[in-house]
Amino acid sequence: MDGYNRIARRGVATVAVPALAGAYATAVVAATDVAVDPPTTYAAVSLTAHAADVAAGVALLVAGVAAWLEPRTGRLGALAVLAAAAWFLPDWEGWSGGPALARSVAAALAPLLLVVVLHLVTALPRGRIPSRPALAVVAAAYALAGVVGVGRATLGDPLLEGSCWRYCVGNPLLVHRAQGVAEALDKLGLWTALAVAVVLAATSWRRLGIASAAARRRLAPVLAPAVAVAAADAAYAIALLRTPLEDPRTKVFATIFVLRSLALFALGAGLAYTVVRARRVDAAIAHLGRALGEAPPPGRLAETLARATGDPTLDVAYWLPDEQRYVGPDGHPPTEFATGGGRAVTQVTRSGRPVAAVAHDAALVEWSPLDLELAPAVRLALENERLQAEALAQLHGLRESRARVVEARDDERRRLERDLHDGAQQRLLALSYDLRLAHAAADANGDLAAILAAAQEEAHGAIADLRELAHGIFPAILAEAGLARALTTLAESAPLAVELEEITAARHPDAVETAAYLTVAEAIADADARGGSVVTARVGARDGRLVVELADDGAPRRSDLVHLADRIGALGGSIELDARTLRAEIPCA
């Protein structure tokens, strides 16, 4: 229901606010008497001053109205409209044909302009004053300006003021004539204006200084003109302190007026830009809504959010409750989140359980889609992607453990080969040597010599068998000289013709070479079992993958070579089997 009310209220405001603002601006222009001599407004002095006066006020008014009608910048818009209204107060005061009460009220409220601008700047970007000290400063400025305005209006008589030029006839608000106090309040008013100008400049400058790059881009269009407004108004206050008799026709005052107008115009333009930007963010968020509705492709949510928020560095990590750690959308360990330096991390939880962490520009919190109407949709999308990231992380874990199993098996094979070579084979060699000596010693005994000769033959046979066994377990040449050499040797000892067409000479990680070697070895054994007579083999590296292709002329394949598929799968590769061909791809980059 709240939502409907809000929309209804906005509907009324959409018509009422621009209408009232337009009426006010028209009234000002109508009331500004440019043909009075001596002039009672700056507008009466020159066409330039008149144009600057109207342009500044109208720019701020239009920007303010536009901002007012945006939900995100509504409060700022109201403040800007207020500031525009205050800007025109001196014109009302100098309205030569106007009612005395209106002119006195305008004079009393005029000092508010600078305070409203300070309020606006302090409340950027959402219209709320962020801290108690800031609130205290703004409140104090309002109070001082109020005291000065009301005090002067109730205690001062313009007729007695030497410096009076806008409205010097009478004061219907006058309660008690105390000219000395009124003049002191005048001075206080100028010093207050000077102080507020300094605070305004300092606040704007500091906010620009501490903002992140993205926030600075967003805020500078308002903050930079605010500094200019502060400077121009400070100059105005100083000029008045030095020359209490303000004459709009003098060069100094005329120049200061134009500068103040320009600064305020720039503030209005900056605010308008901010509104347009906010609209773009709205559009982006609407786009985000659609994108979420269409379910962004897996792992692309961060990208979608980055586009919606205009923060290209936005990053998302997901929480895995079982493993108590974060992972990226792809299930791999996330990129380190940098904090500080204008970066912030927002935790997203769902019923108290962490779902994700979003790293983003610190200034983004203000515009974060997590805070807006789309929050539920974004949360749901995050939760969905978290489930996917979790599944991927488990998949990676599984794959790594498979790879470790294969690696352990390879290491075991290698160790076995070495053990056979350095252990059993050496012992058989020693045995063969002893038999040789025995044979030599038994020369005289013909029978014994024959037996020993046979024993030697047996020993040699055992050595040859052992050698073949060791080579089958792990070909030492593979680790030492690489795939091409190892496959050539494999082809030479194969039970059928093996044609090696293109074998890459490049070296790859042990696990990859072993897998490729075993793929060819298995395929040869398989082709032989199916009665083939020729196997052709091709091994090449393409796009970071080692591609092994085999074809033979045997009977159609029946076995699916499961353990080969397992081994290749463990390395993140794939294998395709056909009746007489085999193609394996193993990542090798």
Question: Which residues are CB-contacts of 257 (< 8 A; sequence separation ≥ 6)?
Answer: 42, 49, 52, 53, 236, 248
In contact, 588 and 546? CB cutoff 8 Å = yes
The CA dihedral of 349, 350, 355, 358, to the nearest 10 degrees, is -40
Q: Which is nearer to another protein, 241 or 476 (CB)?
A: 476
C-beta of 231 vs 463, nearer to another protein = 463
**Residue number with CB closer to another protein (378 or 478):** 478
CB-wise, 240 or 498, nearer to another protein?
Answer: 498
CB of 467 to another protein, least distance (A): 6
Pairing type for strands 574-577 and 581-587 reads: antiparallel
Does 452 engage in binding with another protein (CB under 8 A)?
A: no
Strands 325-327 and 343-350: unpaired
Chosen residue from 459, 516, 546, 588 binding another protein by CB under 8 A: 459
| Residue from 216, 485, 538, 583 binding another protein (CB under 8 A) | 485
The answer to the question of residue 521 lying near another protein (CB under 8 A) is no
Please select the residue that binds another protein; options are 425, 453, 509, 569, rule is CB under 8 A: 425
Unique residue bearing structure tokens 């308002």: 222
What would the two tokens of residue 116 be?
């409203």
Q: Which of 433, 454, 502, 507 binds another protein (CB under 8 A)?
A: 433
What 554-557 contacts at long range (C-beta under 8 Å, 24+ apart), as own/partner pairs, is 554/526, 554/527, 554/528, 554/529, 554/530, 554/580, 555/530, 555/531, 556/530, 556/580, 557/526, 557/530
By C-alpha distance, which of 382, 338, 343, 337 is closest to 362? 343
Residues 84 to 123: which contact another protein by CB under 8 A? none
Between 181 and 481, name the residue whose CB sits nearer to another protein.
481
Select from 179, 110, 176 the least CA-distant residue to 145: 110
User: Counting contacts by CB under 8 A, is residue 525 touching another protein?
Assistant: no
What whole-number distance in Å separates Cα of residue 437 and Cα of residue 460? 15
* Residue 249 interacts with another protein (CB under 8 A): yes or no: no
Among 493, 502, 506, 563, which residue sits at the site for another protein (rule: CB under 8 A)?
493
User: Does the footprint of another protein cover residue 252 (CB under 8 A)?
Assistant: no
Helix (H, G, I), strand (E, B) or coil at 43: helix
Which of 460, 538, 580, 583 contacts another protein by CB under 8 A?
A: 460
523 binds another protein (CB under 8 A): no
Give 75 or 436: the residue with its C-beta nearer to another protein: 436
Nearest-approach distance from CB 510 to another protein, in angstroms: 13
Residues 6+ apart with CB under 8 A from 274: 67, 73, 76, 125, 218, 221, 222
Q: Which burial class, exposed, middle or buried, applies to 430 when counting CB atoms under 10 A from its CB (0-12, 13-18, 19+)?
A: exposed
Q: How far apart are CA 583 and CA 579, in angstroms?
A: 12
- What residues have CB less than 8 Å from 365, skipping those under 6 apart? 344, 346, 371
Query: Closer CB to another protein, residue 451 or residue 453?
Result: 453
Does 480 sit near another protein (CB under 8 A)?
A: yes
Q: Is 429 in the site for another protein (CB under 8 A)?
A: yes
Q: Kindly state whether residue 492 participates in binding another protein, applying the rule CB under 8 A.
A: yes
Among 63, 190, 392, 491, binds another protein (CB under 8 A): 491
Task: Identify which range of 250-258, 416-424, 504-512, 565-573 contacts another protein by CB under 8 A.
Answer: 416-424
> Terminal CA-to-CA distance of the chain, rounded, Å?
59
Contact status: 488 vs another protein (CB under 8 A): yes
Determine if 455 is a binding residue for another protein (CB under 8 A): no
Task: Give, as ranges, the residues between 192 and 231 that touch another protein (CB under 8 A).
Answer: none
Q: Which of 548, 560, 455, 444 is nearest to 503 (CA)?
A: 548
Strand ranges of the sheet holding 325-327, from the earlier edge strand across to the other edge:
325-327, 315-320, 353-361, 343-350
Sign of the dihedral defined by the CA atoms of residues 319, 320, 325, 330, in that order: negative
**Under rule CB under 8 A, residue 481 binds another protein:** yes
Bridge partners (DSSP) of residue 542 are: 545
Could you give the CA distance from residue 332 to residue 299 in angstroms, rounded to a whole number? 11
Nearer residue to another protein within complex by CB, 267 or 524:
524
Question: What are residue 106's phi and psi, to 5 degrees?
Answer: -60, -45
User: Which one of residues 214, 498, 516, 546 is an interface residue with another protein (CB under 8 A)?
Assistant: 498
Minimum CB separation of residue 476 from another protein in Å reads: 6
Beta-ladder partners of 537: 500, 550
Closest contact distance (angstroms) between CB of 427 and another protein is: 9
- Which is closer to another protein, CB of 168 or CB of 453? 453
The C-alpha atoms of residue 5 and residue 17 are separated, in whole angstroms, by 17
Bridge partner residues of 502 (DSSP): 538
Query: Which among 96-104, 110-118, 136-144, 485-493 is the span making contact with another protein, rule CB under 8 A?
Result: 485-493
Rg of the chain over all Cα atoms, to the nearest angstrom: 44
User: How many chain residues interact with another protein (CB under 8 A)?
Assistant: 37
Which CB sits closer to another protein, 26 or 426? Answer: 426
Binding of residue 494 to another protein (CB under 8 A): yes
Contact call for residue 499 and another protein (CB under 8 A)? yes
CA nearest 439: which of 422, 456, 425, 423?
456
3-state secondary structure of 165: coil
User: Smallest gap, in angstroms, from Cβ of residue 446 to another protein?
Assistant: 19
CB of 521: closest distance to another protein in angstroms? Answer: 15
| Residue 443 lies near another protein (rule: CB under 8 A) | no
27 lies in the binding site for another protein (CB under 8 A): no
Q: Tell me: does residue 471 bind another protein (CB under 8 A).
A: yes
Query: Is residue 534 part of the contact set for another protein (CB under 8 A)?
Result: yes
Options 15-23, 395-403, 493-501, 512-520: segment touching another protein (CB under 8 A):
493-501
Please report which helix (H) or strand (E) contains residue 219, including its range: helix 213-242
Whichever of 184 and 442 has its CB closer to another protein, that residue is 442
Closest approach of another protein to the CB of residue 440, in Å: 9
CB-wise, 215 or 498, nearer to another protein? 498
Q: Is 379 a binder of another protein (CB under 8 A)?
A: no
Closest CA to 244 of 146, 131, 163, 171: 163
State which residue, 139 or 430, has the beta carbon closest to another protein: 430
Q: What are the residues binding another protein (CB under 8 A)?
A: 418, 421-422, 425-426, 428-430, 432-433, 436, 459-460, 463, 467, 470-471, 476-477, 479-481, 485, 488-489, 491-500, 533-534
